[in-house]
Structure 1
């Protein structure tokens, strides 16, 4: 007996929303279809994937482990269905600079895919802050970079956005703000706030806070996303961070919920950057083409 991709998608939707009813709404199907898919998966796996409670569906230890595998399976299926990359005969060395957030939460999967698609291409990866990346691109130490393009203002660099990651409010499970119909910066300003500082996150946050007329009640500043995750999950504060770094569970196995923010909060843009007058090598073209096709961007023209 085996499981289907449909069952995996229903399982993931339930794990992410914590509610069969909400998963059914997001998938535009009946609740009974979701319930049946989960029961069938549990029969195949031979273990309970969820604990049913009055508050919703909580993943068991086996469920959390299976969720990780489910994500991997669907990513590989998506890759196989969409990827039509340029010739894999490209060879040589490509120096790629990236920031902390990009290396930690975005790039590893794509580096692994690139390695399989272009086995003759050696990618040398460097982790640096934005200022060092900009200087390195202009001095030809790095060929291309992957970073938060919304932070780049240097006119000598060209940027190309590949992903916009929405920023939402992170709160612990059963937080009182989850019961409100609408949550804005006014309500968030009344809560203890955990401020992430890495990759200019604090600067980006304070820009939109400054236009709101409110200020966050910061109780801790940290460069660690995992610290923010654990502190929020354990009820020590709230934070506004992007979906790219969100995970529904802390390291301690406690759930983190997200809430859409009523007020304007800009998305976190991730993309490529290179020196404006650089002549693209075949390796650079292959790297850029991969991301354009992976994220369904318009056809590459020059």
Structure 2
């Protein structure tokens, strides 16, 4: 009887599929590259199919690999739901949580974590509010919001809010797989400044970008400014321009199925930091405290 791949190997496979590189998957999972390579090959041997085309630019999913990735994601969702349904829940915790969030958090970070919390605490009604940083800050201080998950790296120094960091997401240069900068060593902002630039303008991304460009004395040649991450992805993948965005919103494929690569830059680029914020002068309500503790626990568990 064929042996089933372990969940650990499946996590290796998903990490490689999402990053397109064994080196990046090893960094993301904090394991050796040889462990990743061996794990993926063992899955391919056990399945009897080729999941990746190994190219100079990285690991590209085959058609069978793409189908397998979709099924593996369902497996991990089922595992999460099984653990959540078996844990000792707190049916006595009731109340309402007014949770604010920024655009990026709403689209690329919160949904699976929110679903886990709602299964664990069915008596808590969560009301979601997507808003800009100034609106979130005013809402927390004015009592409209109980808690926020936002880009705390965008908060002004001395902001009267308590904070708790959840993740630091590195920013890298996004280019098309056929772009001349892909594969070059020591790519810096001077190289990027010569390229057409696709600027994302949500969650103060444009203001943040101009701040880290300023020390170089250079600036991006903005071809297009947009609030759509998918538009950035498509334009970069087609070779129309380049962009610098965080790993949290990175996906190796555009909607059209074109490949996107991301490159470490030689110049220092600040991370995008996601975390909790709340009014330091007010104690968190029981639902807000439970939500904060549950997400911290989930992030620590990986």
TM-score grouping bracket, smaller chain normalisation: 0.7 to 0.9
What is the Cα deviation at residue 167 of structure 1? 0.5
What is the Cα deviation at residue 10 of structure 1? 3.8
User: Is contact 2:57-2:177 (8 Å) kept?
Assistant: no
Structure 2 unpaired stretches of 5+:
none
Residues 119 and 113 of structure 1: is their aligned pair in 2 closer, same or farther, counting only changes over 3 Å?
same
User: Is contact 2:113-2:298 (8 Å) kept?
Assistant: no
Given candidates 122, 129, 138, the residue that maps to 2:125 is 122
Residue 112 of structure 1 corresponds to which residue in structure 2? Answer: 115
Residues in 1 aligned to 2:271 and 2:17: alpha-carbon distance in whole angstroms: 24
Given candidates 239, 263, 271, the residue that maps to 1:267 is 271
Residue 39 of structure 1 corresponds to which residue in structure 2? Answer: 44
What is the Cα deviation at residue 58 of structure 1? 2.5
User: Is contact 1:86-1:286 (8 Å) kept?
Assistant: no
Residues 56 and 139 of structure 1: is their aligned pair in 2 closer, same or farther, counting only changes over 3 Å?
closer
TM-score, with structure 2 as normaliser: 0.85
Residues in 2 aligned to 1:269 and 1:72: alpha-carbon distance in whole angstroms: 28
Given candidates 16, 34, 47, the residue that maps to 1:29 is 34
Is residue 2:69 matched to residue 1:64?
no
Residue 217 of structure 1 corresponds to which residue in structure 2? Answer: 221
RMSD: 3.0
Residue 300 of structure 1 corresponds to which residue in structure 2? Answer: none
Structure 1 unpaired stretches of 5+:
298-302
1:265-285 per-position Cα deviation (integer Å, ceiling 9, x unaligned):
000011111112112211111
Q: How does 1:1-302 map to 2 (within 5 A)?
A: 1=2, 2-16=4-18, 18=20, 27-29=32-34, 33-34=38-39, 36-40=41-45, 42-43=47-48, 49-51=51-53, 57-71=59-73, 73-74=75-76, 87=90, 89-153=92-156, 155-296=159-300
Residues in 2 aligned to 1:126 and 1:265: alpha-carbon distance in whole angstroms: 30
Residues 41 and 13 of structure 1: is their aligned pair in 2 closer, same or farther, counting only changes over 3 Å?
farther
TM-score, with structure 1 as normaliser: 0.85
Residues in 1 aligned to 2:26 and 2:46: alpha-carbon distance in whole angstroms: 17
**Which is further off, 260-269 or 150-159?**
150-159
**Which is further off, 6-15 or 245-254?**
6-15
User: Is contact 1:51-1:57 (8 Å) kept?
Assistant: yes
Residues 24 and 275 of structure 1: is their aligned pair in 2 closer, same or farther, counting only changes over 3 Å?
closer
User: Is contact 1:49-1:62 (8 Å) kept?
Assistant: yes
Residues 69 and 149 of structure 1: is their aligned pair in 2 closer, same or farther, counting only changes over 3 Å?
farther
Runs ≥4 residues deviating over 6 A: 20-26, 83-86
Residues 101 and 13 of structure 1: is their aligned pair in 2 closer, same or farther, counting only changes over 3 Å?
closer
**Which is further off, 201-210 or 181-190?**
181-190
